[in-house]
Amino acid sequence: MEGLGRFGDPAVLILTSLAGGPKHGYALIKDIEQLAGTTLGPGTLYAAIGRLEQRGLIEALAEQDRRRPYRITALGADALRSYLQHARTVTTAGLRRLKALA
């Protein structure tokens, strides 16, 4: 969880997308648009991919038709799982507290 940032952080969106299977950059952009309703620009996407690769959370696969697909690593899956479990805990508490206000 540490270092992944807020829910809309590109790293979280990229890891979530790659949890569904390997994708190249354009496929990641499209999947994230559908998943989260937000568009990552190429600069944002590839900067985040670089950081995720450096941390061992994703890895590049062999180039296919001039496109480089990426996949989530076991370390990346563990980090995403931890982040999402924490987010669920906070979300549950927040919703319970809001209900008490009503």
Sketch the domain layout of the chain as residue ranges.
10-96
pLDDT confidence band for 7 (50 / 70 / 90) = very low
Residue 97: enclosing H or E segment and its boundaries? Answer: helix 74-101
Residue 4 — very low, low, confident or very high, per pLDDT cuts 50/70/90? low
**Each residue's pLDDT tens digit, 36-94:** 999 999 999 999 999 999 999 999 999 988 999 999 999 999 999 999 999 999 999 99
Whether domain 10-96 has CATH 1.10.10.10: the reply is: yes
Query: Which token pair is 64?
Result: 């296919």
The answer to whether 4 touches 81, Cβ cutoff 8 Å, is no
Ranges of H-type helices in 1-102: 10-18, 25-36, 42-54, 74-101
**Res 1 pLDDT > 50:** no
| DSSP code at position 38 | -
